[in-house]
Amino acid sequence: MSRRVVITGLGVVAPNGVGVPEFLASIRQGVSGIRYQPGYKDLHFNSQVSGIPVFNWDLLKNYVSEITFHGLQGHALGYGIMAALDAWRDAGNSVGGSETLWDTGCVFGSSVSECDVVKKIITRVDAGEAKKLGSRVIEQMMNSSITAYISGRLGLGNRIVATSAACATGTQAILMGYEYIQQGVAKRMVVGSSEHVDPYIFGAFDSMRILSRKFNHVPEQASRPMSQSAGGFVPGSGSGALILEDLDFALSRHARIYAELLGGACNSGGQRNGGSMTAPAAPGVIRCITDAVTNAGVSPDSIDLISGHLTATAADPLEIQNWCLALGRNGRNFPPVNSLKSMIGHSLSAAGSIESVAAVLQIVHQFVHPNINLEDPNPEILRQIDIGCLPTTMVEREIRTVAKANFGFGDVNACLIFSKYNQNG
């Protein structure tokens, strides 16, 4: 028996909006969340802009107990807790019950440990003061810290999995949650990912010379996916979370259904055929997209919108070419394509989950969010698709099916197919 999986809750902490209402308003209007980071000049970074959520840390007192809040320090952890619990409440659930929810699990990903927090440990230990670290360090340093906090707060008793697949982390986590429900392992899954790019991670990317460095004086223009003037990505931070449910389970509790997750695929190009640690192999990407479309049971022609990975590096034209080949569509026959990264930058492991929240919102509210900073589309892209496929202002139109993909270091790919919920299947 094939189970249908629907989305019943959304939560987001993004550079251009904390909470779904603010985020929705921002992506409709094309509001940038990229800001100048004054301290980065003193650190001699070439790029001095990034997308960091305007996050009121004290609000976490409404999410965890006072005792837990005392001593909480990881930013990615804070973002993840807020996004996941917002999604949970958005789905009509309460927080803090005394029962273990055996039917409900969590797949939540992150890419790197927070060097800020690690630094405090290293400083203490090197000073011979390990004794002063206390009981709260390990629980926040373990790779599974975010899933441990979320599942503990909600009482989740099904599979609790912390994942990591670089920039494909969020997309992959959502797909894993979908698969657990499809297989009948779980009825409901809290899925998503979280990222905080601190100066140490930022500096390491800066050294790779793949960050946008020519727009420090106009930060909101720094992230320019698909444009000829794109000169690298802008790191972003934040978290996105979704509540996935078995359709029958959702119907039985009269949940509001935002959209359906029809299916997806996840693979690797094996770092062969042009693929490497940092570059995706075209055959892997194409196969991932076609597998996702096949798995979802839709025709490539039914895709109404592509939410691309499209980071604003030299890989953008190749990504468009891969979409063209995978879907067998080009020119005017290509669907609209947008990159949320134009507004919030590239939030690495959180990109897939924040962009999936955006994809679902575009289905619910029937619009295509703009690509900001796309005054000068890359000619290599315009050779493949019509300029009309690159909206620079918000477009209201019927959106039934969205393809969302992300590609990460290590040559890993993930693609999801979201659809408007139709009760007749």
Tell me the two tokens of residue 423.
């009760």
What one-character-per-residue DSSP string does 123-187 give? HHHHTT-GGGS-TTSHHHHSTTHHHHHHHHHHTB-S-EEEE-BTBTHHHHHHHHHHHHHHTTS-S
Q: How is 38-68 classified by DSSP, letter by letter?
A: HHHHHTT-S--EEE-----GGGGGGTS-HHH
Pseudo-torsion of CA 332, 336, 342, 348, nearest 10°?
-120
Pick the stretch among 17-25, 100-108, 134-142, 284-292 that binds another protein (CB under 8 A). 134-142
* Cα angle: 116, vertex 78, 412; to 5 degrees: 75
Length of the chain: 425
* Sole window of 15-23, 66-74, 287-295, 332-340 interacting with another protein (rule: CB under 8 A): 66-74
CB of 382 to another protein, least distance (A): 59
If binding is defined by CB under 8 A, does position 98 make contact with another protein?
Answer: no
- Residue range at the interface with another protein (CB under 8 A); choices 132-140, 180-188, 325-333, 378-386: 132-140
Determine, following the binding rule CB under 8 A, whether residue 65 of this chain makes contact with another protein. Answer: yes
Alpha-carbon gap, residue 254 to 276, rounded angstroms: 47
Q: Binding residue for another protein (CB under 8 A) from 38, 134, 379, 425?
A: 134
Residue 165 forms beta bridges with which residues?
167
- Cβ at position 70, least distance to another protein in Å: 4
Q: Given candidates 25, 62, 95, 136, which one binds another protein under the rule CB under 8 A?
A: 136
* 185-244: contacts with another protein (CB under 8 A): none
388 binds another protein (CB under 8 A): no
One residue of 1, 2, 38, 67 binding another protein per CB under 8 A: 67
131 binds another protein (CB under 8 A): yes
Which of 66, 99, 126, 398 touches another protein by CB under 8 A? 66
Phi-psi region of 270 (alpha: psi -120 to 50; beta: other; left: phi over 0): left
Does 96 engage in binding with another protein (CB under 8 A)?
no
Could you tell me the smallest distance in angstroms from the CB atom of residue 131 to another protein?
A: 8
Q: Which residues bind another protein (CB under 8 A)?
A: 65-67, 70-71, 131-132, 134-136
